[in-house]
Amino acid sequence: MSTTALAPPDGTETTASRSETRRQRRRRERLEERDAAIPAHLYGLKRGTVPLITALCALFAIFTLAPVVWIIINSTKSQANLFGSFGFWFARPFEFFHNFSLLFQNVDDNGTYFQWFGNTVLYAVLGGGGATALAAFAGYGFARFRFRGSKAFFYLMVGALLVPIAAITLPLYLVYAKAHLINSIWGMILPSLVSPVGVYLMRTYVELSVPRELIDAARIDGAGETRIFFRVALPLMVPGLMTVLLISVVTVWNNYFLPLIIFTQNRLFPLTVGMGVWSQVAERSGGNTNLYPMIVMGGLVTIVPMIALFLILQRYWRGGLLLGSIAN
């Protein structure tokens, strides 16, 4: 947000009365945001520009939503209709619940969908949550301490972003083979704890929102470093934590390559790998199985939680953190 605006910094609430309803507050925030931005007419736009631009946005929105709309509509179709009927509208019979029940099947001993769903939740929560925790510690360490090698470690970590995942994941499989970590959930969770992007974002956020003076004051008051971290710094880091948590969870949820390599037992697959396997099976069998509606329904159930999470957590995360990382 503009520094000269009246609006409060991201993620914090104004000190206006708590008795405001949620809707009133949202309306006020929107008005403040509008007051804080430069009024559009000052840019000297011609008459028809706003509708034209809105139309372009709408076009792109259609492009963006098309696959999502498609998957919602087609999750209600039988296999025959999937290939027979018009893609973007419904067709009888309405098989949504039937398709949903198909997900409970075990196809070719590849494991059941809901097993995969449970796995994905487990990996995402532990991996994403753990990554956020490690990133919070490390970000705080890099931001507020000057120790020898701090810069070196940081650049090393950022440099690792350049390395292709293939170069890390494939040898990881071999390392796991020696360490008996193949087909272990920890083989999936532990590497997911490493999120250089998370550390980068947290470091930026700590620089922005945990003033050195506050920490120094706490030190003078005799608090130990751990105590300072948990009682002083962490509460101020919450909005950044939310963003990093969201990004980490989504990253693990969407991860394909790592589980593809390290899991050979189907019951451990996350949703991504499972869906990939189903696609393969469906193609090979040439339409003989009833797999296609399951794939469509499976895809829908895979994306619904994440989209819902996004929409719910929208208020905490307004891209302000991503902005902060750019400013540095």
Partner 1 sequence: MPAVTLEKLTKVYATGIRAVDGLDLRVNEGEFVVLVGPSGCGKTTALRMVAGLEEITSGTLRFGDRVVNHVSPRHRDVAMVFQNYALYPHMTVRQNIGFALENKKIPAAERDRRVRSAADVLGLTELLSRKPRQLSGGQRQRVAMGRAIVREPSVFLMDEPLSNLDAKLRVRMRSEVLRVHRSIGAATLYVTHDQTEAMTMGDRVAVLRDGVLQQYGTPRKLYDSPANLFVASFIGSPEMNLYEASLEATEDGAAVVLGSQRLTLPGRTDVGQYYGRKIIIGIRPEDLGDPALGHGTRAGATAGGGHGTHPHAPLAADARLIEVLGSEQHVHFSVDATPAGGAAAAAGDTAQAGILAAGAPNGVARLDSRSAIRAGTRVMFSVDTERLHFFDADTGQAIATSSS
Partner 2 sequence: MSDTATLKVPGQAPPPQAARRRGPGRSSWSRRRDRRGLAFIAPFMIAFGLFTLVPLGYAIYDSVYTTRIIGGTTFTGFGNYSQVLTSGPFWGGFARVIVFGAIQIPVMLVVAFFFATVFDLGVARLGRTFRTIFFIPFAVPIVVAAIMWGFLLEPTYGPITHLANALGFGGTNFLSSGLMLPSIIVIAIWEWTGYNSIILYSALKSVPRDVVEAAILDDTPLWKIILKIKLPMVRSAIVMLIFLNTIGALQLFIEPEILSYQGGSITNTWTPVVDIYNTSIANSQYNLGAAMAVVLALAIIAVSVGSMAFRRHRGELA
Residues 91 to 130: which contact partner 2 by CB under 8 A? none
Near partner 1 by CB under 8 A: residue from 26, 34, 219, 227: 34
Q: How far is the CB of 221 from partner 2 (least distance, A)?
A: 14
Whose structure tokens read 């608090």?
A: 223
Q: Which residues of 184-219 are buried (b: 16+ CB within 10 A; e: fewer)?
A: eeebbbebbbbbbbbbbbbbbbbbbbbeeeebeebe
**Residue with tokens 């198909």, as numbered in its chain:** 102
When the beta carbons of 28 and 219 are compared against partner 1, the nearer one is 28
Which 42-71 residues touch partner 1, going by CB under 8 A? Answer: 42, 44
Site for partner 2 contains 6 (CB under 8 A):
no
∠ at Cα 233 (230, 235), nearest 5°? 80
CA dist 143 and 153 (Å) reads 12
86 binds partner 2 (CB under 8 A): yes
| Beta carbon nearer to partner 1, 16 or 61 | 16
CA atoms of 118 and 215, how far apart (whole Å): 41
Q: Of the listed pieces 41-49, 89-97, 187-195, 287-295, which binds partner 1 according to CB under 8 A? A: 41-49
Instruction: Give whichever of 41 and 146 is closer to partner 1, judged by the CB atom.
Output: 41
* CA nearest neighbour of 298 among 124, 123, 128, 115: 115
Should residue 26 be labelled a site residue for partner 1 when binding is judged by CB under 8 A? no
40 binds, among partner 1, partner 2, none (CB under 5 to 8 A by kind): partner 2
Q: Which of 6, 16, 45, 217 binds partner 2 (CB under 8 A)?
A: 45
The residue count of the chain comes to: 328
Q: Is position 275 an interface residue for partner 2 (rule: CB under 8 A)?
A: yes
Interface residue with partner 1 among 32, 90, 250, 260 (CB under 8 A) is 32
Q: Which partner in partner 2, partner 1, none is near 114 (CB below 5 to 8 A by kind)? A: none
Q: Binding partner 1 by CB under 8 A: which of 28, 151, 212, 231?
A: 28
Rounded distance, CA 101 to CA 297, Å? 10
Told to check if 220 binds partner 2 by CB under 8 A, we report: no
The one of partner 2, partner 1, none whose footprint includes residue 162, by CB under 5 to 8 A per kind, is: partner 2
List the single partner that 45 binds among partner 2, partner 1, none, CB under 5 to 8 Å by kind.
partner 2
Give the footprint of partner 1 on this chain (CB under 8 A): 4, 28, 31-32, 34-35, 38-39, 41-42, 44
